[in-house]
Amino acid sequence: MSGPIGGVPASGQPGGLPGSLEPNSEAPVSDASAAPAVNADAEQVGEAAVVESVAAARGPLMLEAVGLGKDFKLGRGAVLHAVRNVSFGLYQGAVVALVGESGSGKSTVAKLLAGQERRTHGTITLEGKPVEIHGGGAFRRYKRQVQYVFQDPFGSLNPVHTVGYHLTRPVKLHQPEVKDARKAVMALLEQVRLTPADQFVGKYPHELSGGQRQRVSFARGLAARPTVLLADEPVSMLDVSIRLEMLNLLDDLRKRLSLALLYITHDIASARYFADEVLVMYGGQIVERGPAEDVTQRPAHPYTQLLIASAPDPDNLGSVLKSANVATGGGAGRAGTVKSSTGGPAPTGCPFSNRCPLAEDKCKQNNPALQLLSSNRAAACWRLDVAAPQLAGGTV
Ligand SMILES: Nc1ncnc2c1ncn2[C@@H]1O[C@H](COP(=O)(O)OP(=O)(O)OP(=O)(O)O)[C@@H](O)[C@H]1O
Ligand code: SF4
Ligand SMILES: [Mg+2]
């Protein structure tokens, strides 16, 4: 039922080791011109675990990233490792949640998958075929199949154009065979439950609520008839009261259209509710992954434990935290979000080492690879025996 996700060296990417950390940056930075003394071997931690995805039980593998990495050149030799060695799959009809705090690299992963950013490392395959980022017809077809819905429904619609205009353009572009574009637009509006559709088609963005604008954004993404939808914080800018309604809509679209869905969020509580599999990101890396229920009820990585302990979920998500080793520490921000008090991830070793209460010398020098906790769960931490003794013993 489930398919393996490729194992790759955890930090064996070319492009320089993380070195000094730029002020205000959230991801590790290396400075090629003035690299501090870092033991290169210490970063070579061998093969990451091959983790089966629970999402594979829903349907076939659509999109797969293996060893995905993105470095941003910041000038004067400094490089920001925004995404490092990220591997996962998106499966037809399944939701995979990418969870992490601001700056952890979530949107960059989505942009790499959407072809909006050029990857520095790794491979992407769509239905088994390698994807090359260039301007050819194959890439245009890829971009049609893999749609990215932006996190800002307010900024992504042009205030001078109607809903109908916003939807007619992608319909004409992506469905050239359609004779009656207006009819197709009406069908899209109905699909996202903006009904009666004829009352919405002539409206301008300022005449819509936040939730209605987000529905237009979804409709615009669906106009391309994608098989993969990358939803980047689709509810974070909406009133709490309508978030659940919006997630229900996305879930309904996933089912009806058999979409492979990447759900990006700060809010690990909503990931539990909504996703099949959860990937927890920190400092550009996946630090924990597994079935949503398991990860949220029995978090293994100290960072996941911290996220869950800060999540204002009525079930308190992880009652397991009563016995966890990690206190919530520095104040929580948005739901399930913990603000860094140290200015970002550690530049060397485990990215969480400058915030982790369990950190020891090894953590500051060596970046741990994902280790299997069971066939479909993994965490990247040297001290899982202490952080999650009930899991690390292989008794999952
Ligand atoms: N074009 C760019 N040039 C340089 N740095 C960038 C660029 N885009 C993103 N970054 C940096 O990469 C890191 C990851 O950014 P990203 O937007 O992926 O984070 P995120 O997890 O989506 O955060 P948020 O939750 O705030 O949306 C951040 O440090 C960000 O400043
Ligand atoms: S490797 Fe060390 S610093 Fe990193 S999460 Fe585990 S215990 Fe904490
Ligand atoms: Mg983002």
Residue 155, pLDDT score: 74
Return d(Cα 56, Cα 205) in angstroms, integer: 38
Cβ distance 17 to 81 under 8 Å? Answer: no
CA dihedral in degrees (324, 326, 328, 330; nearest 10)? 180
Cα 229 to Cα 18, 81, 370: the distances in Å are 32, 25, 26
Q: Average pLDDT in the 101-121 region?
A: 95
Dist. CA 353 → ligand 2 center (Å):
6
Ligand 2 near 61 CB (within 6 A): no
Ligand 1 near 283 CB (within 6 A): no
Of residues 26 and 32, more confidence is placed in 26
With CA atoms as reference, report the closest residue to 111 among 174, 79, 65, 160. Answer: 65
Mean pLDDT check: name the lowest of 12-16, 101-105, 194-198. Answer: 12-16
Ligand 2 near 368 CB (within 6 A): yes
CA dihedral in degrees (13, 16, 120, 276; nearest 10)? 50
Q: How confident is residue 138, by pLDDT bands cut at 50, 70 and 90?
A: confident
Closest ligand 2 atom number to CA of residue 287: 5
Dist. CA 182 → ligand 3 center (Å):
33
Residue 237, pLDDT score: 84
Handedness of CA 254, 200, 205, 165 (dihedral sign): positive
User: Who contacts 40 (Cβ-Cβ below 8 Å, separation ≥6)?
Assistant: 17
Q: Which ligand is nearest to the CA of 386?
A: 2
Return d(Cα 320, Cα 267) in angstroms, integer: 18
- 276-302 residue pLDDT tens: 999 999 999 999 999 999 999 999 999
Closest ligand 2 atom number to CA of residue 357: 8
Ordered by where they begin, the domains of the chain are 29-151+233-392 (3.40.50.300)
Question: Helix/strand/coil (H, E, C) string of the chain?
Answer: CCCECCCCECCCCCCCCCCCCCCCCCCCEEEHHHCCCCCHHHHCCCECCCCECHHHHCCCEEEEEEEEEEEEEEECCEEEEEEEEEEEEEECCCEEEEECCCCCCHHHHHHHHHCCCCCCEEEEEECCEECCCCCCHHHHHHHHHEEEECCCCCCCCCCCCCHHHHHHHHHHHHCCCCCCHHHHHHHHHHHCCCCCHHHHCCCCHHHCCHHHHHHHHHHHHHCCCCCEEEEECCCCCCCHHHHHHHHHHHHHHHHHHCCEEEEEECCHHHHHHHCCEEEEEECCEEEEEEEHHHHHHCCCCHHHHHHHHCCCCCCCCCHHHHHCCCCCCCCECCCCCECCCCCCCCCCCCCCCCCCCCCCHHHHHCCCCCEEEECCEEECCCCHHHHCHHHHCCCC
Q: How confident is residue 15, by pLDDT bands cut at 50, 70 and 90?
A: very low
pTM for the complete prediction? 0.85
Residue 27, pLDDT score: 61
The mean pLDDT value of the chain amounts to 82
Please tell me the residue having the least CA distance from ligand 2 atom 6. Answer: 381
Please tell me the residue having the least CA distance from ligand 1 atom 3. Answer: 72
CA dihedral in degrees (151, 313, 297, 85; nearest 10)? 20
Please tell me the residue having the least CA distance from ligand 2 atom 1. Answer: 381
Residue 82 scores a pLDDT above 90: yes
Ligand 2 near 302 CB (within 6 A): yes
Ligand 1 near 112 CB (within 6 A): no
